[in-house]
A and B are shown apart, each in its own frame.
Chain A
């Protein structure tokens, strides 16, 4: 019965995706991206179980490492723009247009 896990993973991915589109705070947007990556991990582990090989589990580890590196870069960038603008809202940063 791996279907439930796949549905859960799709739901998490959708929640993350919608969050990226509707939330304003850059940190929250970033958290939603991380939620999407974790949804991918759940899908990988479930498919590993379904396919009967461990590739998916190994990939999940790689994804965690990549996500950690992404957090470092992302927070650095967001903190820098917060210090400049005193705001982390993605709506405020709107000098580059059209």
Chain B
């Protein structure tokens, strides 16, 4: 007789709401008349995100479960709930940006510049599929850091990535770049997930299970030198490090961030990074935590390379979106410092709370910065080239001031949220008291200083050079975009001046660590 599995519906409710809304969105695409679709999609998408967020709050209030849900395959624990809350907030603001129909192609199948495309534009066609696709991606982002076995993690990885591959190719302007970004992201992403899967297969061969805690138990009996384990860990690491954009797997990031529609870039740069770091933490801490002496040296090299590559290549960029992409690579390097700071339980909680706080601050600032990028436009689309941003501070001081503020937050200047994020992560790494990690923190601080150079360069360009006569126009933002920019700026200030409530929340979420 087969006993039916028990499913903790309440614990999984945020996931179910998002996936349910995504499926309803697909049905709307199939059955609702074209003129009604947007009017249904926007409230449906936003309400499902709000509903899922409310359920996350409710679960936090009612007490965090201490055992994994769904027969041990999805772990809804303190860190997961914190990450879910973060992703849902970031997705909500990103969806407000996606709401701008000027950003998306009227008909993706029409060849750019063809009569067919012009017809689609004049008919006012639109790809409202963007909303359900984004919801599926968000659902994958929620499942990815919560998955407690490698199979669920692989499925979540694909559910998160596949819609993003498509969304990248839907930019309304500069469609060749957008399609190229989509192809590159797809081929490299599929390549890296094959590595993830082969790593999973090898770890399954090693441990006889894909359950994260099961792998940890097998490690305790077998020791950490088995070939299957080592090769499997390395391949799993390739797949995961690709998703966070760590060097030497960072090549896709600038291309994809530049080519994708800017609201989608905002969603990827914030939500995907948070989700991927949650998954990295879970794999390396829960499954391979007892094997840390094997992966820490490699991770050390990856982290050092990532921050150096990110900070130095960003200096050479002439495109604002590529520059932000390299900045995101450098930030991934800083975050990896915290991933290595494992020790006893108290040390792990300290490192985890620092990472969670960093992810919140970085995600919010990123969405704000990309929201500003959507507003500065040339006749042919957004003004990406840095030279076009010269003198923006004189033409529209408010917008340039906000952007400068976001850049300072990326650089980690005190009184911005970025400072406390960096401080929290680096503090936990120093607290471990190991020379090799403290050395890496020193390198990270030097890299942050180098990174501050190119942020300040943009600020100087905006405020201390004269605007050209045919400079870009700053469009009047829609209420949604203003709300996003306002919220991000407010959160960046608030978390920079008064970070304690969110730090406390992160600490409380991290205290119980990941369930096993």
- How many contacting A-B pairs (Cβ < 8 A)? 125
Measured between beta carbons, the chain A residues less than 8 angstroms from B175 are 84
User: Is B44 at the interface (CB under 8 A from chain A)?
Assistant: no
Residues 67-92 of A at the B interface (beta carbon under 8 Å)? 69-70, 73-74, 76-78, 80-81, 83-85, 90
User: Could you say which residues of chain B place their CB within 8 Å of the CB of A95?
Assistant: 176-177, 180
Interface hit among B75-83, B190-198, B263-271, B370-378: B190-198
Task: State whether A20 touches B109 (Cβ < 8 A).
Answer: no
Task: Give the distance in Å from the alpha carbon of A37 to the alpha carbon of B177 in the complex.
Answer: 29
Nearest chain B CB to A62 CB, angstrom units: 6
- B184 and A96 contacting across the interface, CB-CB below 8 Å: yes
- Most A CB contacts (10 A, CB to CB) among B169, B191, B194, B255 go to B194
B204 in the interface (beta carbon within 8 A): yes
Chain A residues with CB under 8 Å of B202's CB are 43
In chain B, residues 189-224, which have Cβ atoms closer than 8 Å to a Cβ of chain A? Answer: 190-191, 194, 197-198, 200-202, 204-205, 208-210
**Is there a chain A Cβ closer than 8 Å to B112's Cβ?**
yes
The A contact surface, by secondary structure, is helix
Q: How many Å lie between the Cα of A78 and that of B169 in the bound state?
A: 11
**Interface status of B24 (Cβ within 8 A of chain A):** no
Structural contact, B190 and A62, CB atoms closer than 8 A: no
Contact residues in B for A39 (Cβ distance below 8 Å): 198
- Of B155, B176, B205, B258, the most chain A CB neighbours within 10 A belong to B205
- Give B179's nearest chain A residue, CB to CB: A81
Residues of A21-66 contacting chain B, CB below 8 A: 26, 29-30, 33, 36-37, 39-40, 43-44, 46-47, 50-53, 55-56, 59, 62-63, 66
Among the listed A20, A53, A62, A90, which residue makes an inter-chain contact with B208, where contact means beta carbons less than 8 Å apart?
A: A53
Contacts of B186 in A (CB 8 A): 73-74, 77
Chain B residue numbers with a CB within 8 Å of A85 are: 176
B160 to chain A, nearest CB (A): 12
Q: Which residues 153-192 in B have Cβ within 8 Å of A in the complex?
A: 154-155, 158, 162, 165-166, 169, 175-177, 179-184, 186-187, 190-191
Write out the residue numbers on chain B whose beta carbons fall within 8 Å of the beta carbon of A69. 158, 162
Q: Nearest CB to that of A74 among chain B residues?
A: B186
Residue of B151, B165, B181, B316 touching A62 (CB-CB under 8 A): B151
Residues of chain A lying within 8 A (CB to CB) of residue B210: 55, 59
Interface 0/1 of B249-266, CB less than 8 Å to A = 000001100110000000
**Are the C-beta atoms of A76 and B194 separated by less than 8 Å?**
no
The answer to whether B258 touches A80, judged by C-beta atoms less than 8 angstroms apart, is no
Inside 8 A of B442's CB, which chain A residues have their CB? none
Q: How far is the CB of B297 from chain A (nearest CB, A)?
A: 24
Q: Are the CB atoms of A51 and B208 closer together than 8 Å?
A: yes
The binding surface of chain B is classed by DSSP as: helix
Interface size class of A (residues with CB under 8 A): 35 or more
**Pair B183/A93 contact, Cβ less than 8 Å:** yes
How far is it, in angstroms, between the C-alpha of A96 and the C-alpha of B318 when the chains are bound?
12
The interface residues of chain B lying within 8 Å CB-to-CB of A29 are 187
Return the contact of A81 from the options B183, B198, B204, B255 (Cβ within 8 A).
Answer: B183
Query: Chain B residues near A55 (CB, 8 Å)?
Result: 204, 208-210
Answer whether residue B111 sits at the interface, using C-beta atoms and an 8 A cutoff.
yes
In the complex, the answer to whether B180 meets A40 with C-beta atoms within 8 Å is no
**If the complex has contacts A33-B191, A80-B179, A84-B111, are A73 and B208 also in contact, measured as CB distance less than 8 A?**
no
Bound: A10/B191 CA distance, A: 15
CB-based contact B194/A37 at 8 Å: yes
**Residues of the B chain whose Cβ atoms lie less than 8 Å from the Cβ of A43:** 198, 201-202, 205
The reply on B413 being an interface residue by CB < 8 A is no
A20 near B259 with CB under 8 A, answer no
**How far, in angstroms, from A44 to B197 measured CA to CA in the complex?**
10
- Give bound CA distance, A84 to B112, whole Å: 7
Task: Select one of A30, A46, A56, A70 contacting B158, CB under 8 A.
Answer: A70
Query: How far apart are the CA atoms of A78 and B183 in the complex, in Å?
Result: 7
With A and B bound together, what is the CA distance between A81 and B169 in angstroms? Answer: 9
A96 vs B316: C-alpha distance when bound (angstroms): 15
A96 in contact with B155 given A44-B204, A59-B210, A80-B108 (CB within 8 Å) = no
Question: For A17, what are the chain B residues with a Cβ–Cβ distance below 8 Å?
Answer: 191, 194
Q: Are B194 and A50 closer than 8 Å at their CB atoms?
A: no
Residues of B within 8 A of A56 (CB): 201, 204
CA distance A44 to B487 in the complex (A): 47
Instruction: List the A side residues contacting B254 at CB < 8 Å.
Output: 96, 98
Q: For the complex, what is the distance from the CA of A13 to the CA of B190, rounded to whole Å?
A: 13
Check A77 against B165 for contact (C-beta < 8 Å). Answer: yes
Q: Which residues of B contact A77 (CB under 8 A)?
A: 165-166, 169, 179, 182-183, 186
Contacts of B197 in A (CB 8 A): 36-37, 40, 63
Whether B191 contacts A81 by the Cβ 8 Å rule is no
Q: List 9 A-B contacts (CB under 8 A).
A: A51-B208, A55-B208, A73-B162, A80-B182, A81-B180, A90-B187, A93-B184, A95-B180, A96-B254
Q: Using a CB–CB distance below 8 Å, which chain A residues touch chain B?
A: 6, 9, 13, 16-17, 20, 26, 29-30, 33, 36-37, 39-40, 43-44, 46-47, 50-53, 55-56, 59, 62-63, 66, 69-70, 73-74, 76-78, 80-81, 83-85, 90, 93-96, 98
